[in-house]
């Protein structure tokens, strides 16, 4: 990687810059193993700022963030476990430069449990913009830290996984590795079933919700909409909140 002109200018100063100045100006970067191959990760003094796959990492980072990059001796604490488990709790993220709406969308996606999916409409409702489904998709496509904020767990309501920053095939691979039964989701969607209810609990869920996965076949009932399930006497699950996508 060629030296950044700004860093070269700092190196030419007659006196040493104040302590911590370089970390406020530049980002550090490392290459680390990830669930879909090697990743390049940039981080600042505020947290992980960018996760990228393949070539062109430095150019893409500078174009987006306008900050120089320096190689790091080691990844930030918590990064490798977060990538390995898909649970980045405690890992600091640097989301500066994003709009309030973008940040709210990413924070909503961050709440989706491993092995589960939610439709784009669920995110839109959760952030208080129920008609902004397309804008939600755009915000997720701009996610600077995929895998750490699991935008791959947001899918289309018709059972199709949808687009992803690393490609649809990688998105499906990630979901399958997490235990999401995509074949089942697609099979149900083909029958226009988007919600599953239990006649023992009286609760209706998204098909990938951990509560729905416990429903035995004899007690399982499928519905096209939450309204249809409510009319049949079921109440929305408090865990997966299917009413948000109604």
**Which residues are known catalytic residues?**
151
Strands (E), the chain: 27-34, 37-44, 47-53, 69-71, 118-119, 154-155, 195-198, 203-205, 220-223, 235-236
List phi, psi (to 5°) of 34: -135, 175
Is the separation of the CB atoms in 220 and 197 below 8 Å?
yes
Please report, for residues 112, 123, 124, the alpha-carbon distance to residue 140 in angstroms, rounded to integers and kept in the order given: 14, 10, 11
Token reading at 35: 């669930």
């Amino acid at each position: 990687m060629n030296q950044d002109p700004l860093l070269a200018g700092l190196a030419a100063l007659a006196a040493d810059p104040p302590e911590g100045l370089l970390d406020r100006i530049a980002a550090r970067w490392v290459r680390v193993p990830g669930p879909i191959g090697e990743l390049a990760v940039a981080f600042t003094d505020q947290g992980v700022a960018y996760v990228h796959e393949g070539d062109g990492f430095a150019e893409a980072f500078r174009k987006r963030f306008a900050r120089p990059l320096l190689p790091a001796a080691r990844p930030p604490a918590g990064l490798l476990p977060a990538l390995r488990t898909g649970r980045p709790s405690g890992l600091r993220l640097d989301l500066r430069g994003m709009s309030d709406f973008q940040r709210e969308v990413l924070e909503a996606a961050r709440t989706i449990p491993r092995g589960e999916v939610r439709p784009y409409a669920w995110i839109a409702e959760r952030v208080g913009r129920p008609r902004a489904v397309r804008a939600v998709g755009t915000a997720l496509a701009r996610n600077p830290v995929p895998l750490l904020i699991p935008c791959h767990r947001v899918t289309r309501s018709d059972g199709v996984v949808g687009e992803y920053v690393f490609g649809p095939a990688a998105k499906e691979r990630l979901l399958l590795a997490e235990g999401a039964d995509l074949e089942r989701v697609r099979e149900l969607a083909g029958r226009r079933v988007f919600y599953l209810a239990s006649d023992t609990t009286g609760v209706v869920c998204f098909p990938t919700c951990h509560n729905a996965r416990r429903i035995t076949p004899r007690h399982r009932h499928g519905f096209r909409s939450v309204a249809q399930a409510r009319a049949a006497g079921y109440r929305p699950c408090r865990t997966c909140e299917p009413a948000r996508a109604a």
